[in-house]
Amino acid sequence: MKSINLGVKLLSLGWLTGPIFDKELRVSSRRRRNYILRFLYLLILTGFMILVWRYFARIFGYGSQASRVSQMAEAGKFIITYVVWFQFCATQFLAVIMLSNSISDEIYHLTLGLLMTTPINSFQIVMGKLFSKLLQLVLLLAISLPLLVIVRVFGGVPADFITSSLALTLTAVIFAGALSLFFSIHSRRSYEVIIKTLFVLGILYAVLPFFAACLLHKYISVNQFFWALSYINPFVILYNDTQQMLSAGAVPWLSSTSWPIHCGTMLAAAGMLLALSARVVRKVALLQACGQVGSVSSRKPRPRPKNTSASSGGIEVSSKPVKRVEGSAMIWKELQAPLLRGGRLSYFVGLLAGVIALLITYGVCAYHKSLDDVYTHAWYAALFVILGSVCTAVLAATCITLEKESRCWPILLGTTLNDWHILAGKILAVFKRCLPIWLFLAGHLIIFTFFGYIHPIALVHVAILTAWLIMFLSAAGLYFSSCFKRTATAVIASFSLAVILWAIIPMVLGLLGQFRPHNGLIAMFLKANPVIQVEVIMTSAGGSSAKLSLDHLVYRWPLYERNEVGSFTLVLLASLLAYALGALLFAWRAKVRFRRNVF
């Protein structure tokens, strides 16, 4: 009987996750919103499959029966490729957001020490937090699996691709979640954890491979480099598997790649992060259990000041002068918290490191003589726009929820500041804190305009694009921050709005456009996409076009539409007007919701 009970205990994984994961299972099964979310997700996937089916049925519906049957395999490949890559990218991003406050909440609310007084150990706390947060993501992947298996009936998609893509997605999600959980121990603010985690993932998956390729291209071949990279980079190996599936053959430079080895490597890296997190959590929890206020920082405590006040009963009195409020009280308050923990010195060191890394990439591009290529500057500009947009959206979506979580929001509403003052202060503070990120974009344009690689009109066009993008993302993020009580929910809603507007709607309209003769609506949404706008600006005003006069500049849109500089500027101004109106609407609705559901 004891051996049976031991076997049941091992199979239940309760020894690994503890009661935290069991509690999450019980709570999630009683939440109606979880069932609604799963139903909507499955409904969206089914609708997407129907649209693709109709698209291919219309194109190949006039051939022979054998031809129509053979083309269904292409439809199956198209559906599965889009679903797999969407889940692969979206679930990693959601894991970073959902685990951004997993440990910091326990530390800040002084409940971590209480957990250590129970039979739960630190490793069970870490594993329970990880899997309880990833539970909903795993369920979304699970409910999409039957749909992917059904699509395999069309043919053309091997079962190994479904298995490998699911395994790659799960291991990448676990690693991203473990990294976010590790940073949440050292940072109280959710936006700081999100930015740090995305920054580290970007370095691991993009920056380091780029520098490694530049340094090793003389010593190893391209095939050998990507073969080695595939064992530690999930994007490379999933791209290889996708190409093998689409081309019905192996890609030469990755033909011997084994995805189980890659999954084992990612799980080992995640395991090391979790073990390190459990060790740090135990130290902080023991400090709280002993009566000391746990700090996520590992810095030494400040020495006591020498002077104390006798009238205050021996209470320590700081000799530092009190900071005076300068300018707007709202903006001053927001700017007191640094963007990243570590003070101004660490902040400037990080900026300096970013500038040095950017200059190195410029040197590499100059060595390969690609600075006069229009696509080089298009990639740089798109990267800076995406980074600035992510920082703006994250900071805007967390500026109110953080105060709600710390119970400071009612105090702020009880001051003499009116709602419009609070609203304007929040938006301006978001802009000022994100300004260094946007200055990278401005610096890139100014430098290469000075050297003649980019036309000066691009400065005006990118300024218009940046203006409406900052206004819209700030106002939308502030609105979602006023609607929700949890930071993770507000950030997810803010990014969902961007994905729906600039990715899902154009894709759906593109599929529907095959059944209608006019595609003006599709063109309108494509022209409203910031990444497409900056790509059109840089490819049309860079390279050899930088030396042309304004009358000879031609701007080419994705749907083969062309604009002269005047009409293109009008398109950008129309986007500015439309998004400014949307920003005003979001800002007004955020102001209306300030005093609703305060607690």
pLDDT tens per residue across span 312-344: 444 445 556 667 777 777 777 777 666 665 556
More confident residue, 299 or 73: 73
Task: Please say if the pLDDT value at position 232 is more than 80.
Answer: yes
Residue range 174-196: average pLDDT? 87
pLDDT interval class at 309 (50, 70, 90): very low
Which pLDDT belongs to residue 70? 66
Task: Please say if the pLDDT value at position 10 is more than 60.
Answer: no
Contact between 379 and 531 (Cβ < 8 Å): no
More confident residue, 380 or 256: 380
Which pLDDT belongs to residue 312? 46
Which pLDDT belongs to residue 216? 74
Residue range 463-469: average pLDDT? 94
Helix then strand then coil, in percent of the chain rounded to 5, is 75, 0, 25
| Dist CA 295 CA 259 (whole Å) | 40
Q: State whether residue 599 is helix, strand or coil.
A: coil
pLDDT interval class at 67 (50, 70, 90): low
pLDDT interval class at 90 (50, 70, 90): confident
Q: What is the pLDDT of residues 490-549, one digit of tens each?
A: 888 898 899 888 888 887 777 776 555 456 777 788 888 898 999 999 988 888 888 888
| Tokens read off for 14 | 């309760």
Per cent of the chain over pLDDT 90 is 20
CA-closest candidate to residue 229, choices 245, 211, 246, 244: 211
Residue range 239-265: average pLDDT? 73
Farthest CA pair distance, the chain: 98
Which pLDDT belongs to residue 308? 47
**Which position has the token pair 């080992």?**
268
pLDDT interval class at 12 (50, 70, 90): low
Which pLDDT belongs to residue 293? 54
Which pLDDT belongs to residue 7? 56
pLDDT interval class at 585 (50, 70, 90): very high
Which pLDDT belongs to residue 44? 82
**Which position has the token pair 């803010």?**
494
Task: Please say if the pLDDT value at position 91 is more than 70.
Answer: yes
Residues near 378 by beta carbon (within 8 Å), at least 6 away in sequence: 534, 535, 538, 539, 542
DSSP H helices, 152-189, are: 159-186
Which pLDDT belongs to residue 497? 92
As a whole number, the mean pLDDT across the chain is 80
Which pLDDT belongs to residue 369? 82
